[in-house]
Structure 1
Amino acid sequence: MWCTDENQGEFFGQESWGKAVYQEITVPGKIVLTDMFADEEGNAAEGMPVTLVTLTFVEHEGKTKLIMRSRFASVEGLQQVMGMGIFQGCASQFYRLDDLLDKLQELW
C-alpha cells in the first residue's frame, strides 16, 4: 500500500505492507481478525505491535452500525501505532468506504 494522503506528513509516499489473519467470521454479525505490519512476503514485522480487531455489525434505526474494537497487547504498542497515525489512517479508510457506498447507492 502506498500512502497517497499528503496530510500524512512524513508517511506520504511511503510503501507499507500488512497482514490480516481472520480468526472468526459469523454471518451476519461479527468478524474477528489479527492485524499486523508485515513485509512484502507476508512475514510479521519484528518489533511492531499486533492488533486484535473485532468488527461487530448491529441493526440500528433501520441501518447497519459498525462497531470496531482494537486490542493491543500493551499500552506501549498502542502508543507506538498512535504515533504512526493509526487514528487518521483508519478514519481515512472509513471516509473512502463512505465514498464507495455513496457511489454504489447511485447505481441502485
Structure 2
Amino acid sequence: MVSPENEKHWGRMEYIAIMPHKSFEIKDGFCDEDGNINPSLPVSKGTIVFAQTASGTLVEFKMFYSSEKEIETIVKMGFEQGIAACLEQLEALFQENKI
C-alpha cells in the first residue's frame, strides 16, 4: 500500500479457508516488506461471502478484532479510507465482469 504522502506499507493476508465462488476466511495484518507480521499492530480475522442476487452479487465483508482498542488503532491509521478504496476497486471489477 502506498499512502498519499508516498509512504509504503505492507500487509500480509493468510487464507484460512476457501470455498470457491462462495466465501473465504482470512487472517490479515501489517508486516514488513519480507512478510514478517508487525506485532505492535492489530491482526484481524475476516470472512468474505459472495451471494448471487437478482441484480448481481452481494458481498458481505466482516472483520473481527480482539478488542475495541485494536479497532480504534486501525481507524486512526486510515482503515475507513483504505477499505473504501478496496471496495471501489472490487465494484469496478464486478462492473467490468472480470470476476
Query: What is the TM-score of this pair, normalised by structure 1?
Result: 0.81
Structure 2 distance, partners of 1:57, 1:93, is 16
RMSD, aligned α-carbons? 1.7
Percent of residue pairs identical: 24
Q: 2:7 is matched with which residue?
A: 14
Deviation at 1:97, TM superposition (A): 2.8
Structure 2 distance, partners of 1:92, 1:80, is 19
TM-superposition CA deviations, 1:44-89 (whole Å, max 9, x none)? 0021000101000112224110000000011111110011110111
Q: 2:38 is matched with which residue?
A: 45
Which of residues 56, 65, 68 is equivalent to 1:63? Answer: 56
Taking structure 1 as reference, are residues 58 and 99 closer, same or farther at Cα in structure 2, changes over 3 Å only? closer
- Report how many aligned residue pairs link the two structures: 98
Gaps of 5+ in 2: none
Structure 2 distance, partners of 1:74, 1:34, is 15
Structure 2 distance, partners of 1:100, 1:56, is 16
Q: Which amino acid aligns with 2:51?
A: V
Moved over 4 A (4+): none
Which protein is richer in helix relative to its size? 1
Bigger Rg over Cα: 1
Gaps of 5+ in 1: 7-11
Taking structure 1 as reference, are residues 93 and 31 closer, same or farther at Cα in structure 2, changes over 3 Å only? same
